[in-house]
Structure 1
Amino acid sequence: MAVVVFGGVILFSLALAMYSRRGKSANVEDYLVGGRSFSGILLFFLAVGEVYSIGTMIGFPGGIYAKGVSYGIWFLGYILLAYPIGYFLAPLIWRAGKGYNAMTMSDVVRSHYSHRGFELIFTISVLLFMIPWGQLQFQGLIVALSSLGFNLSPAASVVIAGCIAFFYISVSGVKAPAVVSVLKDILVFLAIVIAGIAVLTKVESVSSLFDLAKQHGTPVTIQNNNDMVSSMSTIFFQAIAFYAIPMLASAIFTGRSEATVKRTQTFMPLYMFMYPFLVITSYFAFIADPGLNDPNQAFIVSVSALFPSWLTGFVEAGTALSGILVLAVSSLSVGAFVSRNLIPNVPETSQRRWVQMVVLLYLVSSMALTLFVPSLMLNIIHTTYYGYGQFVPTILAILFFRRITPIGLAAGLIIGDVAAISMHLNEFNLYGINNGLIALVLNFVVTLGVSYLTKDWKKTNTPIVYNKDEVYTIPEKMIQRLSLVKAMHE
């Protein structure tokens, strides 16, 4: 029965993707950023889809199962801290995208600084850390599909997932993942909340759950100071790096106005309501199966022990869609960066075709890496967030600062990337402080130093925060009311 339900949900998602073609134009802006027309609701689901991917259903419970409570504190802490930062940054990022007619962050960099060398360095850095992202999603999908009882080989799993992701993108660009995200998030949210309630019904209380977990040798408190320092520094680093993720910036560009983006950010924290239930379900895995060989199976094991077969099918479908949608949006972002920023002078009329070719190449490459050399990108995957964090000086400079130079930003970005990867490869540990945070400090120091040496006092770039020319989309009824008020005063 689970297989039937799973298949039905996937087919329904394909129908939703076809539905998203309504009103589709051949414009590349429509294809990449939805014509900057997404409502607050659609933007909300697209944005949270980027945040709560297959890592929510597979990685988070697996991390708690393997590493204990410190993993859970880190995961919850950085997202909760990131949202208040995003309330102020996300509308400005949208303003930059609208003002420069940008569809990638590299477009913003190019338009703001008019420096091809820095645009290339920024784009190559983005691609370096996005290339293994597809492999990570495929690996999560293999875990999810293998636990469903399909008896699919890894090769069949990744091919099916890759084909679905390519279908979403080829149908209508970013619109299909946005529409399907609504279905996915409803399934994921309900599955996690229902699973958490089922656990509490079974074990009677949260304290009883933790007592049972401790009986199986599971720590429910942080055991040493290094774990605490690591968790706190990682929370701080990833919170400030969160809105520097290139895919998230592209999602923000789809909003119809700056006000829409700000309103969406206001409601983003509500999605965290599901995490207490996910923590409860994660700890139940220690009771359901205390000897798991693969910690990534923790959530699926708990759900299988709690739910009937048909309900498990819905959970599995939501989990699979989480990975496929992030894979689709990641592929689209890679295609946009390559066709608009890496390869020079691609005509806008040809960019959609180029994007689709790059998307196909990216998916095929990710499939090959997943199947034939699964450990090849392991170290780069571990440093992905380190790399995203190194874009923070560039984002802040564009939004707020006049005299930071593109040469300074490029030098800082290179130093930050090299430092982050080197520290990871050499297993560098400074009192448990997150290596990405250390690299970011070096990045800032180099950026400021080189900018001071290369600045031109006669030439400055106006930060986005000072751009008061942003035009808001005002509803027609509001315009009518304003006109009426004006007429009454006259």
Structure 2
Amino acid sequence: MTTAVFLGFIVFSLYLAIRSKQGHGAQSVHDFFVASRQFGAYLVFFLAAGEIYSIGTMVGFPGGIYAKGPTYGVWFLGYILLAYPLGYFLGPKIWQAGARYNAITLPDLFKGHYGSRALELMVAGSSILFLLPWGQLQFTGLVAALKGLGWEFDPVYLVLISAALAFTYIAISGVRASAYIAILKDILMVVAIVATGVAVGWKAGVGDVFHAASLQVSNQMNDTQLRFSMSTMLFQALGFYVMPFAVQNFFTAKSANTIRRTQVAMPLYMLMYPFLVLASYYAISQNLQLASPNEAFFAAAVRLLPDWLLGLVTAGAALSGLLVLAGICLAIGPIVTRNLLPGMPEQRQKQGAKVVIVVYLVLSIAMTLATPNLMLTLINTTYYGVTQFFPGVIVILFSLKVRPMAIALGILSGQGLAIALYAQQADFGGINLGLVSLAVNLLVTVVANYTPRLARVQPA
């Protein structure tokens, strides 16, 4: 029954992808990647929510609580809530900048504002580099979900099937398929999470689960944990909407006001997190010996839900990962064909992007099989690099005059330092390494921007 329900929803998702293409004929590059800037508030809302509340919600958040204790998940909630006000004010400006420069990708914005080929290449290259862990994140989550639900297949087959499905969605109608499937995915994900949380409360008791879990994990934060949580919330909130795929999602909207309307409603999704906490605490309280912390949520689901509902949970988890995977691919494809290979004719960019997407999927699969990680580690790794774009994006949005060389040096300094500090396992008393690197990024940018000017006014 579980498999039948799961396959039924997957087939239905393919139908939605095909349905999304009707009435649009042969898609142009802009239509394929950003829907010709035609999406209304509902489609933008579901598309953005599909990227935000993904497989990481069902796997990474409960896995972090299971592995590190409940206090470790505080930042997960905090940075998303802190990001929404930023999205309300910055999202419309990102859309306006995209319309001004006819942009499809994040590097298009840098190219349009700064007029620097070197800066465009640097942003394009580092975007691809730091999105590799995000692709690995989705595959890791998909493997954990399907294995946690009792599907004892070789991980190789699981990731290959997942990659094939993600590519199929993209090939049918690009971002339009993602938007339509996102509606189904959100319904399934919310029902799956709420159903599992309710089952825990109904069959094990909320008070009993919390009490049993509190005997095994600490609910107190020491000073180091508090500094980590607060600094990580700030750092990742700043990087939340400069993710290449998040920027591209904004470009699909038909107006700046459409963005504002979607951001107002986004926090409603946070109501499902208490149910995820319940599932995590259940896994802790029952002393479940899991192969990986990433299986915490699904361990609760398997033990408490009937087979048909498990099929729904499986479909919700799978579509959550597949949808984000498709979104990443739709961001990386045009980055290569438009920014790394700018001479490619527009009519060939879509086909070229599909080839790039296949290569990206293969690389992500290889990383997933070679170096499986706790999902929280993968989330942090991507943010270390991507958030360093934030100062450069702010300059674009507010039409400030800053030398492109200064922006480039700042980004390189921040990304290089973040990687070095992470490799050395440096400790700043719990302060997020990425935030330290972002501060250096800003310092280098300011110094590099003003030092040449000061030199010119000095007497000979």
What TM-score do the two structures reach when normalised by structure 2?
0.95
State the aligned residue count: 452
CA distance in 2, matches of 1:71, 1:394: 30
Q: 1:259-300 CA distances to partner (integer Å, 9 max, x unpaired)?
A: 111111111111111111111121111134433241111000
Matched, 1:76 2:74: no
Name 2:184's counterpart in structure 1: 183
Report the counterpart of residue 159 of structure 2 in structure 1.
158
**CA gap 1:379/1:3 in 2 versus in 1, 3 angstroms:** closer
Q: Distance in 1 between matches of 2:452 and 2:186?
A: 48
Which residue number corresponds to residue 127 of structure 1?
128
Q: Which residue of 2 aligns with 1:355?
A: 353
2:430 counterpart SS class: coil
Larger Rg: 1
Q: 2 CA distance for matches of 1:165 and 1:73?
A: 31
Are positions 1:311 and 2:309 aligned together?
Answer: yes
Q: How does 1:18-97 map to 2 (within 5 A)?
A: 18-24=18-24, 25-97=26-98
- Alignment partners' CA distance in 2, 1:233 and 1:385: 13
**C-alpha distance after superposition, 1:448-487 (max 9, x if no partner):** 111113469xxxxxxxxxxxxxxxxxxxxxxxxxxxxxxx
Q: Distance in 2 between matches of 1:316 and 1:106?
A: 36
5 Å-filtered alignment, 1:159-238, equals 159-205=160-206, 207-215=207-215, 217-222=216-221, 224-238=222-236
Q: CA shift at 1:400, angstroms?
A: 1.9
Counterpart CA distance in 1 for 2:416 and 2:267 is 34
Q: Which runs of 5+ in 1 are unaligned?
A: 457-490
> Do the aligned partners of residues 211 and 148 (structure 1) sit closer, same or farther apart at CA in structure 2, a change above 3 Å counting?
closer
Residue 70 of structure 1: how far off its partner (Å): 2.1
Q: Separation in 1 of the partners of 2:264 and 2:331?
A: 25
Asked which structure has the greater RCO (Cα within 8 Å, sep 6+), the reply is 2
Asked if the contact 2:137/2:378 (under 8 Å) is kept, the reply is no
- 1:212: Cα distance to partner? 1.6
Aligned to 1:467: none
C-alpha contact (below 8 Å) 2:56/2:137 kept by paired residues: no
**CA–CA separation in structure 2 for the residues paired with 1:285 and 1:122:** 41
Partner-residue secondary structure (3-state), 2:21:
coil
Q: Are the counterparts in 1 of residues 245 and 330 from structure 2 also a CA contact under 8 Å?
A: no
Note if contact 1:288-1:301 (Cα within 8 Å) is conserved in structure 2: no
2:350 and 2:368 map into 1 onto residues whose CA distance is 27
Q: Please give the alpha-carbon distance, in whole angstroms, between the structure 1 residues aligned to 2:294 and 2:89.
A: 35
2:432 to 428, 431, 434: 434
Q: For residue 150 of structure 1, give the secondary structure of its aligned residue in structure 2.
A: coil
The structural deviation recorded for 1:382 is 4.5
Alignment CA distance shift 1:331-1:279 (3 Å): same
Cα distance in 2, alignment partners of residues 39 and 170 from structure 1: 23
Distance across 2 between alignment mates of 1:396 and 1:31 = 27
Distance in 2, matches of 1:164 and 1:278, equals 27
Amino acid at match of 2:336: V
Match of 1:403 among 389, 395, 401: 401
Return 5+ residue gaps in structure 2 as ranges.
455-460
- Give the CA deviation at 1:344: 2.5
Q: Deviations over 1:296-338 (max 9, x none)?
A: 1100011112210110110011001111111111111111100
Q: Which letter maps to 2:151?
A: F
Q: CA distance change for structure 1 residues 313 and 132 in 2, over 3 Å: closer, same or farther?
A: same
Matches within 5 A, 1:193-342: 193-205=194-206, 207-215=207-215, 217-222=216-221, 224-342=222-340
Farther off after superposition, 405-414 or 66-75: 66-75
Call closer, same or farther: CA 1:18–1:239 in 2, change over 3 Å: same
Task: Give the stretch that moved more between structures: 269-278 or 279-288.
Answer: 279-288
Quick check: 1:139–1:370 contact (8 Å CA) kept in 2? yes
8 Å CA contact 2:41, 2:258 repeated in 1: yes
Inter-partner Cα distance in structure 2 for 1:289 and 1:170: 44
Corresponding position of 2:458 = none
* SS of equivalent residue, structure 1 residue 244: coil
Q: Report if aligned partners of 1:3, 1:148 keep a CA contact under 8 Å in 2.
A: no
Q: Which residue in the other structure is 1:472 paired with?
A: none
CA contact (8 A) 1:74 1:232 kept: yes
**What's the % identity of the aligned pairs?**
48
Match of 1:444 in 2: 442
Seen in structure 2, the aligned counterparts of structure 1 residues 59 and 18 have a Cα distance that, compared at 3 Å, is: same
Q: Distance in 2 between matches of 1:174 and 1:153?
A: 30
Alpha-carbon offset, residue 198 of structure 1: 2.1
